[in-house]
Amino acid sequence: MGSKRITGMTIIKGIVCAILLIVALFPIYWIVAMAIRPTSEMTGHISVIPHALTGEHFKQLFIEKGFGSSIVNSLQTTLISTMISLVIGLCTAYIISRARFRMFIKKPLTYWILLVRVLPPVAFTIPLYTMFSKLNILYSRIPVILACILINIPLIIWFMISFFQDLPVDIDQSAQIDGATEWQLFTRIILPLVLPGIAAISMLSFMYAWNEYTYSIIFVQTPRNYTVPLTLAVLNTEDNLTNFGLVAAGGVISVIPITLFVIFAQNYLISGLSSGAVKE
Amino acid sequence: MKRNALTNGRASDASERAFPRLMIAPTVLVMAALTAYPLVFTLIYSFTDYQYLKGTDAAKFVGFKNYVMLFNNTYFRQAVLNTVKFTLLAVILEMVIGLLIAVFIKSLKKGQKVMRTLLLLPYLLPTVTVALSWRMMLSANYGIVNQVLESLHLPVYNWFMDIKTAFGTVLLIDVWQNVPFVFLLLYASLQGVSTNQYEAAMIDGANVVQQFFYVTIPNIKSGIALCALLRTIDTFRLFEKVNILTGGGPAGTTSTITQFLYNYGIKNLKFGFGSCGAIVMTVLVLILSSFYIKRAIH
């Protein structure tokens, strides 16, 4: 057991770590590297590190392609759908988690929510499209907002039930003895206790809504309503050099929210994502 | 018993009884309008010749005509085959690579947390952004990958257009993005394995490989099963990457079921036919996930 062998192992592990990081992060680096280099550096010999820096792609993206409105659309649909799903989902998860509320609908609803998580989007899209068209809202932002709500409510309920269940029922009982109404108990006592869970699932919901593509490409009818992923997908029509910079610049902008989450709240985010392994 | 007394006493209060109903009502309404109603109508439409431009009133019942057409459609059969092949390969690759990385990271003395966060990043990115970044790297004329291969005198391809490479390339990109999810879940499961078991195995003379197969794997079996199921369900609906990178081509080699339905049932507004395909896919997904649902419900 010489120290030499340990050093050897350490070096090998360091090399493996480096390889893993390069494989995982290079495509992310590359989109940044393409976004900030002038178009002239995208032909001929492409250097891994850009020689000159430029903001021309970002400028062009906002001025010529109206990317600002895509960001506004994305933020709007994401924030509105996340808020609505959270309010609705938290209320339902709490009721399902408490045995003292006896309702016939709890069990079928729980099954149904799980089923919705599993079913493919195409199971719902065609009648929804018809319905939105008959309601005359196909040209508004409502369809995509509703789609994000439909994606996120099951996730929020499924995730939050276990958080509510982990709170001892004694809390409920002592609050009731003190004369608190059910609503006061829920909003003033229960919700503050599950704030970490709410933080984690809010970020996940935001992320899923922000990244949403499948429903959007089917429901959105006019470029006026394009979200960030849709605008990016449309920019990517041909193997066209002039678009490389634009696509890369848009790609960089599309990862800003998740970058902020990782920097400022990675523990919540990771606990949210890995909860599936520990609890079911 | 005390709890029972409390519940009974309060149940008489009408406003308190209304509380759970009010709390649950929005979810019931939303789920009914956005999922139950559409699912029923997808089934109904699947037996009609509904075309969006002609409207629902003009749609006639045609029995199983759509289903017969669908099963006779070679593109559909190809798409089902592609989807099954893709799901199988992607899930196996993701599970093996994800597990190896999880065990490796767990063995590090320092930097586990940093590595975990950095390796997770691909999974967090918008799928569209991932697809576009890879598209730029793999571009036939201006891509860094072909440039590197050329300088090494290796063969280069038009990755997304060549029948030989398109399927594998999309597969690789999907695996790249989803390995981090598997890694994270299995890494979390590994935290629950007690070190005593490894010590006992070492005393019995088990080497690293034996420890992996006789201690690590049995301990995280349920985590592995759950993760594989989640990945299967998600991979089976693969659409975004295919739609952006190849549109199902070349020659349908990368077409998945969802991409087929998008091309031949939704984009061309043949909603009756599209609904029929959606129902077939739903049935396939239900068969695949029945095990998962049973487990999750207990």
Residues A135 and A245 in one domain: yes
- Asked if residue B272 belongs to a domain, the reply is no
Residues B160 and B15 reside in one and the same domain: no
Confidence of residue A99 (pLDDT cuts 50, 70, 90): confident
Q: Give the pLDDT score at A22.
A: 96
B3, B87, B128, B151: best to mutate for the A interface, most A CBs within 10 A: B128
* More confidently predicted of A83 and A240: A83
Tell me, yes or no, whether B46 lies in a domain: no
Q: Are residues B18 and B163 in the same domain?
A: no
Residue in A with minimal Cα distance to B39: A124
Within a domain: residue A47?
A: no
pLDDT-flagged residues of chain B (< 70): 1-15, 292-293, 295-298
Question: Is B297 within a domain?
Answer: no
Q: Is the pLDDT of residue A177 over 70?
A: yes
Do A120 and B7 count as a contact with CB atoms less than 8 A apart?
no
Shared domain check, A126 and A65: yes
Q: Considering only the beta carbons, identify the residue of A183, A217, A278 that sits closest to B188.
A: A278
Do residues A112 and A151 both lie within one domain?
Answer: yes
* Gyration radius (Cα) of chain B, Å: 25
Domain count, chain A: 2
Q: Please compute the mean of the pLDDT values over residues A206-210 and round it to a whole number.
A: 95
Structural domain of B208: 76-260
Q: Which CATH number do you get for residue A236?
A: 1.10.3720.10
Same domain, B156 and B247: yes
Q: For testing the chain B interface, which of A126, A156, A176, A178 should be mutated: the one with the most B CBs within 10 Å?
A: A126
- Specify whether the backbone of A66 is left (phi greater than 0), alpha (psi in -120 to 50) or beta: left
- A259: in domain: yes
In a domain, A274, yes or no: yes
Interface test with A, best of B6, B28, B101, B132 (most A CBs within 10 A): B132
Based on the fold, state whether residues A172 and A226 are members of the same structural domain. Answer: yes
Q: Which amino acid is at B269?
A: L
What total of structural domains would you count in chain B? 2
Structural domain span for residue A152: 56-278
Query: What CATH number is given to the structural domain containing B90?
Result: 1.10.3720.10
Residue B267: inside a domain: no
Q: Given CB atoms, is B117 within the 8 Å cutoff of chain A? A: yes
Residue A29 shares a structural domain with residue A73:
no
- A241-254 vs A256-278: helix crossing angle, rounded to 10: 60
On chain A, the residues whose CB falls within 8 A of the CB of B281 are 120, 122-123
Residues B18 and B106 in one domain: no
Indicate yes or no: CB of A20 within 8 angstroms of CB of B128.
no
In a domain, A18, yes or no: yes
Residue A83 and residue A23 in one domain: no
Between CA A152 and CA A71 the distance in angstroms is 20
The whole-number pLDDT of residue A212 equals 95
Q: What is the pLDDT of residues B234-246, one digit of tens each?
A: 999 999 999 999 9
* Confidence category of residue A276, pLDDT binned at 50, 70, 90: low
The verdict on residue B242 lying in a domain is yes
* A94 assigned to some structural domain: yes
Nearest CA in chain B to A148: B34
Distance (Å, whole) CA B179 – CA B173: 10
Closest CB to B23 among A94, A131, A153: A94
Interface of B with A in 132-151 (CB under 8 A): 132-137, 139-142, 144, 147
In a domain, residue B53? The reply is: no
Residue A82 sits in the same domain as residue A10? no
Reported ipTM: the value is: 0.89
Under 8 Å CB pairs connecting chains A and B tally to 286
Residue A44 lies in a domain: no
* Residue A70 domain flag: yes
Q: List pLDDT tens digits, range A228-254.
A: 999 999 887 655 656 888 999 999 999
Report percent pLDDT > 70 for chain A: 94
Q: Do B41 and A127 touch (CB under 8 A)?
A: yes
Q: Are residues B15 and B126 in the same domain?
A: no
Which residue, A154, A130, A156, A153, is CA-closest to A143? A130
Q: Is B110 on the interface with A (CB under 8 A)?
A: no
A232 and A150 in a common domain: yes
Pair (B131, B196) in one structural domain: yes
Which residues of A fall within a CB distance of 8 Å from B24? Answer: 91-92, 95-96, 103, 105-106, 109
